[in-house]
Amino acid sequence: MARPDQSMRSKNTDGIERLFFPAAPFPHGIQLIFKKYNYEKMIQNRQTGSGFGIKHASTQGAAQEDAVGAIELPMPTALTDATGLVINSMERTFIETFLTDTLAPTFGEGGGPGTVLKNLFELGENVGKSTAEGITSAVQSVLTDPKKAAGNASDALGGGAKVLSYFMRNTLDSMVPGLGKSLGASAGAAINPNATLAFEGVNMRSFTLDWTLYPDSAKEAEDIKQIVRFIKRNILPSVQTVFGADSEGGGLDGGFAGNTSSILNRAFLTYPSVVYINLLGVDESAFPRFKPVMIDSIDINYGPSGEVVIAEGGVPQGVKLGISCKEIEIQTAEDFRN
C-alpha cells in the first residue's frame, strides 16, 4: 500500500530514466520497469594461440539484468488476465488403446519405468501362456470329440475374422489413410476412434493494459510523447553487426565490396527489454501477480474521443495507449499456494 516511488520522483541518482504521467502524484497506479539482458559478462572474447587473430567465445557467469528505465502511469482502464491451457482431442488406435488400458494401473500406482517394463514382460508371458494352453486344449478336443472340435473351430474362426478385421481397419488406417474407413464401409461398421482429451501444457499468460491520457499542460503533453517513444524504443530490437556490436556504435571497416558491409552491419537483432510490472497503492493480493513479461504489441490512438483534436502547441488533445504482453514463464499451481 505504501508509495515509496513518490519519494523517488525527486531523485534520479541511479542513472535510470524515469517517466511519469500525470506530473502530480496519484494514489493508485502501475509501474513498468524495463530491463535488458546484458550478455557482455557472460560471453567474453579471448585471443587464441592460432596466430590468425580468431576470437572464440567462452562463457563467464550468467547474463546480467540491467535496468534501463521505469514508467509510472495511472491504473489502466482495462486490466485483463487471460490464462489458457493446451488441451486437444486425440484418437487412439487399437494398439495404443490396448497398451494404455494395460499400463494405466501401473502409472496409477506410481510405478516407474522399471515397473512398466516388468508389466510388459508379464503381459507377453501371459499372452504366450494363454496361446499355448489354447492350442493344447484344441488338440485334446480334436482327439476326444472331432465334431464338437469342428464346431468350436468354426466359431473361433468367425470370431477371429472379426478381431482381425477390426485390427486391420483400426491399425492399418494409421499407416494407409482411408483404408480403415474403406473396410468399415464395406462391412457396414465404423471404427470406434477411442477419442479422448490430452493435456499438452500451459499457454504463456497474457495481459492487456489500456490507458486514456489527457494532458493538463504542455509539460504533460511532452511527457506522454516521451513515454510512447520510450516504450517503442525498448520493445523494438536493435540491429547488430556480425561481431556483436550495435550498428549505431560503429560499422565495419572497409574490405567489403558493394552492399556487403551494410548487410553485415545489420546481421542480427537484439532481444527487446523484459518488463517487470508493479501495482502501486493497492492490495496486490487482490490483483494479478505479474511475472516478467515481454510486450508484443502497442496501440496508440491519437483520437480517443472519436476524432483527432489538436490542442494548443499542435499536440493531440489526448492519447489512448494500449499494450498487450505475455509472461516469459508459464504459471503453475505452485504460484497460487498462498
Domain ranges within the chain, ordered by starting residue = 4-84+206-236+272-336, 87-201
- Tens digit of pLDDT for each residue in 71-81? 999 999 988 88
Please give the DSSP secondary-structure letter assigned to residue 291.
Answer: P
Q: What integer pLDDT is reported at residue 220 of this predicted model?
A: 95
pLDDT confidence of residue 26: 84
Query: 17-31, 149-163, 256-270 — which is least confidently predicted?
Result: 149-163
**How do beta strands 85-90 and 196-202 pair?**
antiparallel
pLDDT band at 245 (very low <50, low <70, confident <90, very high): low
Tell me how far the alpha carbon of residue 323 is from its chain's centroid.
19
| Residue 170 banded pLDDT, cuts 50, 70, 90 | low
Residue 194's closest CA among 108, 90, 104? 90
Range scoring the smallest mean pLDDT among 153-157, 232-236, 265-269: 153-157
For 189, the grid coordinates are 461398421
pLDDT for the residue 176: 64
Mean pLDDT (whole number) for 150-165: 53
pLDDT: which is higher, 183 or 283: 283
In the structure grid, which three cell numbers stand for residue 213, read together? 491520457
CA distance linking residue 263 with residue 240, whole number of Å: 10
Q: How far is Cα 72 from Cα 74, in angstroms, rounded to an integer?
A: 7
- The model carries a pTM of 0.65
Percent of the chain whose pLDDT exceeds 70? 57
Determine the pLDDT at residue 68. 87
Per the prediction, the chain carries an average pLDDT of 74
pLDDT value of position 161: 53
51 has pLDDT over 50:
no
C-beta of residue 34 within 8 angstroms of C-beta of residue 278 = no
The larger pLDDT score, comparing residue 93 to residue 21, is at: 21
- In angstroms, the CA 250 to CA 240 distance is 10
* Residue 85 to residue 46: CA distance in whole angstroms: 45
Of 64, 51, 2, 61, residue with least CA distance to 31: 2
Indicate the SS3 state at residue 124: helix
SS3 12: coil
pLDDT at 24: 87
Task: For residue 96, give the 3-state DSSP assignment.
Answer: helix
How many whole angstroms separate alpha carbon 75 and alpha carbon 49? 58
Give the C-alpha separation, 52 to 47, whole Å: 10
pLDDT of residue 248 exceeding 60: no
First to last CA, the chain: 19
41 touches 60 (CB < 8 A): yes
Q: Are 213 and 317 in contact (CB under 8 A)?
A: no
> Tell me, what's the pLDDT at 263?
79
